[in-house]
Amino acid sequence: MKAVTLYRPVTIANALNDFDRYVESFFGESPMTPAAYTREPAVDIRETEDTYVLEAELPGYDEKNIEVHVDRGILSIESKKEEKIERNVSPSKGGAKEERYVIRERRNASFNRSFKLPENADLDAISACFNNGLLCLEIKKLAEAKKRIIQIQGK
């Protein structure tokens, strides 16, 4: 294998998520289900001569509640951010009145994305940076796995 691939173990939760995605592709998103609940962070993966670069969009998160780890060639990005259900009480002339959201789309739920790393990825040489909601992981390739040109000698 020569590329980073999405790792999705076979579980009932993944099967249900796939079903939800198929239903949404046919009917469109339900107005009862906010986008943050149904979507995983968008990820781009690029390959250069020496590295794989993975960029994940994580708006609303910070580096304190994001965890990146590697286990047996599987790179996982997850967040344990707990959503708070807020009920604001504002004082008024007749006493306290409770405020409720009419529309609430800006939510950050927990997520977990996993990717199977290729055999030529150096699992000990992964660096991460987080800036303006963009997580960038640089995964170096093993030196012996790089393409090299072999000179052909004449007689």
Mean pLDDT, range 62-78, rounded to an integer: 92
Mean pLDDT of 94-114: 73
Report residue 57 CA to chain centroid gap: 7
pLDDT score of 35 = 46
Cα–Cα dist 60/154, whole Å: 62
CATH of span 5-145: 2.60.40.790
- pLDDT tens track for 109-146: 788 899 999 999 999 999 999 999 999 999 999 987 66
The mean pLDDT of the chain is 78
Show me where the domains of the chain are located: 5-145
Q: Which residue, 62, 80, 70, is CA-closest to 122? A: 70
**Longest CA span, the chain:** 102
- Is the pTM for the entire model greater than 0.75? no
Q: Is 118 helix (H, G, I), strand (E, B) or coil?
A: coil
Residue, of 101 and 75, whose pLDDT is higher:
75
Q: Which position has the higher pLDDT, 74 or 82?
A: 74
**What pLDDT sits at residue 131?**
93
